[in-house]
Structure 1
Amino acid sequence: MTEPILTAAGLDRSFGGIHAVNDVSLEIPQGALHAIIGPNGSGKTTLFNLITGHTRPSAGRVRFAGEDITGMPYSKVARKGLAKSYQITTVFPLLTVFENVRIAAQAAAHSYVFWRPADGIRAVVAHTEEVLERIGLAGERDVIASNLSHGDQRRLDLGIALATSPRLLLLDEPTAGMSPSETAATVELVKELNRDVTILMIEHKMDVILSIADRITVLHQGEKLFEGAPEDVKSHPRVQEVYLTGTL
């Protein structure tokens, strides 16, 4: 049996005696699209931070692609093929769409040669253009990032993560603040990306989660409340009680 691309075992993180994450375990198979849901304050973002190395766990281990990465800084984790798209966009607002993605592609390729124009690095430029096509922003390549719509800035943020050629892509509320049409377009993009990238995502919009995820983990008060297929999550009485009532 193929080892899961990501295994989190018994993750725990306390802040001032409060368990933000309490004994949470996950296994993410290669090629999965796995969602994490839960009310505000349930530990979703802290769990992401424990996985990516932004926060050290008080207990537990994280394995990625067969290697123990527990507590490893995100800069090193990212170079191993794990990338994260943030809830709040992290684009460079005064750079163009192309320049934003190229910086990420260049960093991933370790192609910083200071006496050589970035446009001259053919492989980086080609990869940047490929990413822009894939995220649907090729036509806006010369637009200053701050002039993009909110939805397109979110799409650009995803493209920056994608430019690092990740094996696992963590998405933190990729449709946050989007209109219904922007949400629908982003859902289709995530589905398309999942054809060759494993995805772990946090999302609040239940219609999105139920239509896109293979499997869902429900967190409540820092603990795993339930995990299963979308239909099982939808019908679970305890999940409905603490999270889903009025949203389905």
Structure 2
Amino acid sequence: MRAVWKAARAAVRRRRLQTLVIWLVTLVSTGSVVVALGLLDAASAPFDRVFGEQHGPHVVAEFSSGRVTDAQLTDTARKSGVEAVAGPFPQATVDVPRGMADLGLDSEVTVVGRAGPGGAVDRLDLWAGRWPARPGEMVLNRHSGWSRDDIGKNFRLPSGPALTIVGFAFDLSDTADVWVAPDQIEALHPDAAQMLYRFRDASSQDELRAGLARVTEGLPEGSLSGSQNYLTLRDRIGGNARAFAPYLMAFGVLASWWRC
């Protein structure tokens, strides 16, 4: 055994440059793989934690109010594979005045009429102010880093009434830009109903598509006007970190192959 170690040390002394290069390649390739795995975890771990805390919806489905009734949508909660449901919530798409651009809103926003931030699905984080209790009040979907100074600001919608900001709530699932009291939403002329579903099996895109197909089976044709699922949202939020991971993994593998 000593003879082997002596031979190895002698070989290292004779080829110090080659040994250093191999050591550096090994270090860099291993580091690249570790960083890539860390990026993949960092891209999804925060989303999974907040999504779990909010009991977020696996699927957010939008239905045309003129093609399906609230009673029919409520009945979808009894379909097989459904774990929990919230809704139907009336939903309207409205134009906003220029003054609201300072609040980070686009020229067109989604407004949902909802009685409160809690429930079996999509428990919103109402981190500032209070929930709308009467017509003329609204809550904006904002992360807790947003300034509380905007509470109390008043805006008149071009196609509707004046609304005052009474609070901020954060919804990771992005189900709305603005929430108002159910008594207020009718003045905004809602044309859709929003349903939030959690399924017992939501581990893949195929399972989510199958779950959505089950809950919409038997509803009038064309009543489902749009949907989004949490896996697509998670990929979009973690897209920047995930974009670099394959390159780092490939570099690590190629470096290891070259070393061999």
TM-score by length of 2: 0.24
Asked which structure has the greater RCO (Cα within 8 Å, sep 6+), the reply is 2
Higher alpha-carbon Rg: 2
Higher helix share: 2
